[in-house]
Structure 1
């Protein structure tokens, strides 16, 4: 469907700085970026985020979601980590997303501005989970609504499940950077993910980046597991 190159982000989901650094080094030959999120940041702090990321491209996945002023102030506080990508929740609404856009533009020089990515619907949620919080739409319709809102409000791209890549491409074309968790190589355990695809399927659908954590980091040989995902993307 697309000629775009899909790149790999390895999720370093741990509370252990040394372990995160080992995974970073083991996967460096195959991964284009590393992800550090809530688990690592809350346990280890922003100095450790900067230390572990080192020279690697950093996807800082903290999913900021608060009133506009608080989110904007938080983005200013994160500038020292030098992320290549950072996340906010699209459910925060247009004003929050616009405030985040302005904060990114203020806090970072033009050559070092991270991609501002809006999280749409978590990959652990299905229609029943959405209905349980009062959202009548199915995940795809909710993702399309939030995705359009986020892009109109200043986001550079979206975090979505693999199942929404093609509908978002149909709606938004190529202008949205799509970062896609919920990736499970053939034969991998689903874990807590509900809306999944293999790396090759997500690439064909039009993902710019895929995020893979446990299928790589819990493998007996993380370097080989990351290389296998990269080979699938290249194939």
Structure 2
């Protein structure tokens, strides 16, 4: 089952993660586990979160040759997470083999394969000049989404601002997972393409990933409830 909001647990250790969850009563909420926490703690952190009934998006952004990604996905499939991702820039064969790896794992869990299009820290200028990819982020993200869709991915990570175009290209059943979510009073930090939960819903996002707007808030519980309220009712704060 896929949930509309995943809380990013961007903490360096399990101890800090556990303390945050228990202090603010977030036990059982859908969470995103990224590279920082997973590379420190390993698969055991997934097992601990699942013991407390947390739905999990495992955000590792795999990007390697197809056979390596396939073997990694075969192992990841045994963890029973909701979603896991690869970089779409790895190409169609890598995405196809990633999907094959998830199926070969045979865990019985329908883990969704999500492909990262263009990172939300990227602007048109950075993409053009530093990566030497011509065009706008919206155009390139839509192209990568279409390629991922045709290669067996279940959805993509994109910014809110590309979600509607991707839905037009790939269909309404193709998932759009949108990081860079900020509440009105929050800082952009290192993100370029950001949006509020209410705007995200109107723009066609299926799933939000929200982190620092909640985890760095003076009152994380209030901030989380605000995000849920905006999403559920489509109202700006």
Alignment TM-score > 0.5, same fold: yes
Q: Take 1:63 and 1:183, find their aligned partners in 2: how far apart are those partners? A: 19
Q: Does 1:220 align with 2:197?
A: no
Q: Take 1:176 and 1:99, find their aligned partners in 2: how far apart are those partners? A: 19
Gaps of 5+ in 1: none
| Contact kept in structure 2, 1:8 and 1:211, CA below 8 Å | yes
| Superposition pairs of residues 67-106 of structure 1, within 5 angstroms | 67-106=65-104
SS of the residue aligned with 2:177?
strand
Give CA deviations for 1:30-72 in whole Å, capped at 9, x if unaligned.
Answer: x851000101011121112321343211000000000000001
Structure 2 counterpart of 1:12? 9
| Contact kept in structure 1, 2:178 and 2:209, CA below 8 Å | yes
| Superposition pairs of residues 1-235 of structure 1, within 5 angstroms | 7-25=4-22, 26=24, 28=26, 32-54=29-51, 55-110=53-108, 112-131=109-128, 132-235=130-233
Q: Take 1:27 and 1:143, find their aligned partners in 2: how far apart are those partners? A: 36
Gaps of 5+ in 2: none
Q: Take 1:28 and 1:7, find their aligned partners in 2: how far apart are those partners? A: 16
Q: Take 1:135 and 1:27, find their aligned partners in 2: how far apart are those partners? A: 44
SS of the residue aligned with 2:85?
strand
Structure 1 residue 22: Cα displacement:
3.5
TM-score by length of 2: 0.91
Superposed CA RMSD in Å reads: 1.7
Question: Higher relative CO (CA 8 A, sep ≥ 6), structure 1 or 2?
Answer: 1
Structure 1 residue 165: Cα displacement:
0.8
Say which is worse superposed, 36-45 or 47-56, in terms of deviation. Answer: 47-56
Q: Take 1:11 and 1:46, find their aligned partners in 2: how far apart are those partners? A: 17
| Contact kept in structure 2, 1:126 and 1:195, CA below 8 Å | yes
Q: Take 2:19 and 2:227, find their aligned partners in 1: how far apart are those partners? A: 18
Q: Take 1:101 and 1:76, find their aligned partners in 2: how far apart are those partners? A: 9
